[in-house]
Amino acid sequence: MAPRRLTMMTMTIMMMMMMMMDNICIRAQDISRGSFPKGFVFGTASSAFQYEGAVKEGGRGPTIWDTFSHTFGKITDFSNADVAVDQYHRYEEDVQLMKNMGMDAYRFSISWARIFPNGVGQINEAGINHYNKLIDALLAKGIEPYVTLYHWDLPQALHDRYLGWLNPQIINDFAAYAEVCFQRFGDRVKHWITFNEPQTFSIHGYAIGLQAPGRCSILFKLTCRSGNSSTEPYIVGHNVILSHATVSDIYRKKYKAKQGGSLGLAFNVAWFEPESNKTEDIEAAQRAQDFQLGWFLDPLMFGDYPSSMRSRVGSRLPVFTGSQSVLVKGSLDFVGINHYTTYYARNNATNLMGTVLDGAFSDSGTVTQPFKGVTPIGDRANSLWLYIVPRGMRSVMNYVKHRYGNPQVFITENGMDDPNNILIPREEALKDGKRIRYHHDYLSNLQAAIKEDGCNVKGYFAWSLLDNWEWASGYSSRFGLYFVDYRDNLKRYPKDSVHWFTSFLNSTS
């Protein structure tokens, strides 16, 4: 089935069908590796800035997140990622942990500033050597590398020189960096992800200023030195889309035939359930999805932004030229989905959000929240934003299938966090039954989406292998299957979820 745009009537019907599906509870059932199609890939995921540490070793240059994390008041626990969980030095140990579990693949990111310390110019061979060693170590253990080219850590030099993603010059510089990665690693890397969650860093970095580089002009402007929340997120998003499409074109023309790889992008996708069966709330849920997933995936599938964005953002939304639209459309080989949670959505009838938080944060005209009245949509993890709603996984998969023509999908992130509570003994912290239930129930819904609904899903990556430095939350949040003891030389200890995954991955029926 070819991807197609859907009329509002069709979308309304689809949303109502999704509401019906959301009421279907996938009951706890025994699942195993054998429950999934042959060749289905299981792995864990990470990012360079959250894992590597060694920020001043091996010729690495500074990034916008180094600057942001060293700015007072930006990180909840006042920490930074100078050491993170030290995977730069401990990658062999961590690769063995994946092998012991029976994982098929590892999704990690390359730090642009390790390859080009200044973003451009002379290649840093020490950085090339590090990633060569990591890739070779993975392959030696039978673990397939899935490589993300950009996971938020822009070289600081490019932001200083021309404001990074706000300048179209970034398209050429990102393409040059990506091509070096194809040249040096593409003989062994067969799955490339250009960007991780562009909607997240466009909004949080340039609309509300809560992530690097910390630009905004709205309510939070007291914490932002500069920015324009109404225009900058859309400029950033536009340059990201054109960067992806340019890199995809280069890969297909120069490397794909010889290297045989594929190239996609990882999108953040919460599911939005209409708060009621009112048409206005059903339409609001669709707009919420347009301004989240559609913002980036619609151009890559259809050649332009969603009509709701065009009408609501107006002249603030950049325009693709005819040649750009041709370049962008169809530039994905697969769709990466980072899915964690589900919210209710309702029409913003009072425009309160627009009054308080003008700009891209409120342009969709929706209110999304995890409560209906005072009743939460599900049990909460540690993070304030993460509510556990397993049925959302099946709904997201069906939405992608119907709206975009059932493209090849990888779940590039899924997981939940516990608090980093120093008062809880390590032995107790290893007992993470809640995480086991989370993965079991989300995987059950994913399996149903594949087998019962025909969704074209090829793999699943748990976030994350290790507890790690969690952006603005610092070390206060533990997403790992392995416990990292931050008070004892970063030793790794298997949580109960490691034993669950090991049993799951070694079972066939």
| Residues noted as catalytic | 197, 413
Contact (CB, 8 A) for 489 and 497: no
The DSSP element (H or E) to which 150 belongs, if any, is strand 144-150
CA 138 to chain centre: 22
Contact (CB, 8 A) for 343 and 377: yes
CA 423 to chain centre: 31
The DSSP element (H or E) to which 175 belongs, if any, is helix 169-185
CA 112 to chain centre: 17
d(CA 372, CA 390): 17
DSSP-derived secondary structure letter, 266: E
Cβ partners under 8 Å of residue 361, min gap 6:
203, 207, 208, 218, 229, 353
d(CA 481, CA 502): 11
The DSSP element (H or E) to which 43 belongs, if any, is strand 41-45
Helix (H, G, I), strand (E, B) or coil at 272: strand
The DSSP element (H or E) to which 160 belongs, if any, is helix 156-162
Token pair listed for 13: 């019907």
Where would I find the beta strands (DSSP E) of 348-420?
366-369, 371-372, 375-376, 379-380, 387-388, 409-413, 418-419
Token pair listed for 275: 């708060």
Neighbours of 250 (CB within 10 A): 17
Handedness of CA 253, 254, 256, 261 (dihedral sign): negative
Contact (CB, 8 A) for 375 and 448: no
d(CA 393, CA 163): 36
